[in-house]
Structure 1
Amino acid sequence: MSVRESGSGTPLVLLHAFPLNASMWSAQLDALPGPTGDEARVLAPDQRGFGGTELGADEPSLDLVADDLALLLDAAGIDRAVVGGLSMGGYVALAFARRHPDRLAGLLLSNTRATADTDAARANRERIAAAVTARDSVQLLLDERVAAGQLGPDSQHLVERVQAMVAAAPPAAVAWAQRAMAARPDSLDVLAGLRVPLAVVAGALDALAPLEEAERMVQAGPDAELTVVPGVGHLSALESPGAFDAAVRRLLARVAAG
């Protein structure tokens, strides 16, 4: 796996959204280690097929991506970590919590949901997967204004940056990830059994992961805190890094307090 890393201290893994890559976490890699660099050891990996990480030949499954993360922690000499994900990254974080609960020190779920896809959502994922595969191009995602649709109305200045990440996504990775997300199970049971602090971050204007999904996750988790970031859409870490980082720091403090 390709991974960006900064700082020392409490291990914190940040998992990127679809169809972006770990470069979306540049602000967090700079800020979250703190002024002395020892508040957090931040690791931001590229998930399968994105950025600098190879896709491999396995059938689509977010469980495999979660297992990739466990191997990354092994390689980094990390026993337990706070694991956070945004959108697709949140799905992977939930899969990690299900498959490797003993490796989890805290869980951050941002602009995501714990419920499974509806039939309509699965059909749309397959439509996209089939189209990008047939055309060997991700132009469909650009034509359908995926970047603009992920951002709130006051964050459209970020469209070009997000578009560049979308355009860099390999078609095979886009198709694989869509099919992996479509196959994911409902994970509210994972949250109900969680034994570590949970932080949920929602964008007040997020149409892709509405606030009621965030509230559902908070209600399921026994030790949960909800942060609603005003004025932002689906990419809160990019749109309002200060508010997002503050929520992460509160989670890190709760983890440290034990």
Structure 2
Amino acid sequence: MTQLPSAVSVRESGTGTPLLLLHAFPLNASMWSSQLDALPGLTGDEARVLAPDQRGFGGTGLGDDEPSLDLVADDLALLLDAAGIERAVVAGLSMGGYAALALARRHPDRLAGLLLANTRATADTDAVRANRERMAAAVTARDSVRLLLDERVAAGQLGPDSQHLVERVEAMVAAASPASVAWAQRAMAARPDSLDVLAGLPVPVAVVAGAEDALVAPEEAEAMLRARPDAELTVLPRVGHLSALEAPEAFDAVVRALLARVAAG
């Protein structure tokens, strides 16, 4: 792991087409360990895979700024600058998808392709915003992320065949700081609708959904497909919210297909 001038901690492997992997909430870049091992070079379509810890998670500092995914997007642009990368294929899962769309809004010229997994391009409903604030206030008041474990956040993110991953996911959840959890919740709650950004982005797009995702309804993938009819949708059976962890081979196949589309121009 290296520490870049942008203060974004990043795991990296391989050479070739830059591929930026953006993790889910409230996890960190270690969720991409399988992709860091499997994606570079195994199919002849070599990739330089970068998996950063987003602001406040893993090895990346939170800072003193007010919550905003725009800041996360700017962090990522600085990361690409520091790594000498002009454009990258960007894959974001859940919160990582929100960060990817923020990057597309603020720095559209930095994307060569976009994969949105288990995420949505619409803004939060009032009910979802209220729940995010409830969680942010609770973890701050208690100075603990125990609430996330008590509410079985890890188990709720996983599909019926993936409960063996609960312990691994809970370890990532427990490693998150209360301040970072609260900051990220409020940043996600404040994000705008991004369907227009998705519709206007002039790069290949892929969408991944879990058939058993209890957090992001299939209708969200359909909304993204209406905005981008040329996007390729993959629905993974028996998979919940963390598709890259639950079905890594199937997820990686989608990534490789997107890389091939980007290479084909």
Correspondence 1:223 to 2:230: yes
User: Which residue pairs with 1:50 in the alignment?
Assistant: 57
Is 1:206 aligned to 2:213, yes or no?
A: yes
SS at 1:13's partner residue?
A: strand
Q: Match for residue 69 of structure 2?
A: 62
- For 1:57 and 1:94, the matched residues in 2 are separated by 23
Q: Which residue of 2 aligns with 1:74?
A: 81
Identify the residue that residue 183 of structure 1 maps to in structure 2. 190
How far residue 222 of structure 1 moved from its aligned partner, in angstroms, is 4.8
Equivalent position SS for 2:112 = strand
CA distance in structure 2 between the partners assigned to 1:31 and 1:2 by the alignment = 21
Q: Is the 8 Å Cα contact of residues 194 and 221 (structure 1) preserved in structure 2?
A: no
Distance of 2:42 and 2:101 partners within structure 1: 30
Partner of 2:3: none
Q: Percent identity?
A: 87
Structure 2, unaligned stretches of length 5 or more? 1-7
Distance in 2 between residues matched to 1:132 and 1:227, nearest whole Å: 35
Off by >4 Å, runs of 4+ in structure 1: none
Contact 2:73 2:99 in 1 (8 A): yes
For 1:55, give the aligned amino acid: L
- Other structure's SS at 2:56 match: coil
Question: 1:37, CA displacement in angstroms?
Answer: 8.2
Q: Which moved more, 1:218-227 or 1:106-115?
A: 218-227
Shift of 1:122: 0.3
- Whether the 8 Å CA contact 1:16–1:47 is kept in 2: the answer is yes
SS where residue 60 of structure 2 aligns? coil
Alignment partner of 1:23 is 2:30: yes
Provide, for residues 74-99 of structure 1, a one-character-per-residue CA deviation record: whole Å limited to 9, x for no partner: 00000000011000000000000011
CA distance in 2, matches of 1:67, 1:232: 32
Structure 1: unaligned runs, 5 residues or longer: none
* Number of residue equivalences: 258
**How far apart in 2 are the matches of 1:99 and 1:61?**
12
Deviations 1:161-189 (A, max 9, x none): 00000000000000000000000000000
- The aligned counterpart of 1:243 is 250
- Aligned-residue RMSD, C-alpha: 1.0
Task: Point out the more displaced range, 219-228 or 51-60.
Answer: 219-228
- For the pair 1:120 / 2:127, whether they are aligned, the reply is yes
Q: Residues 11-160 of structure 1: matches in 2 within 5 Å?
A: 11-35=18-42, 39-160=46-167
- Normalising by structure 1, we get a TM-score of 0.98
CA-to-partner distance for each residue in 1:32-59, whole Å, 9 max, x for gaps? 1023886100000000110000000000
* Residue 223 (structure 1) shift: 2.9
CA contact (8 A) 2:45 2:259 kept: no
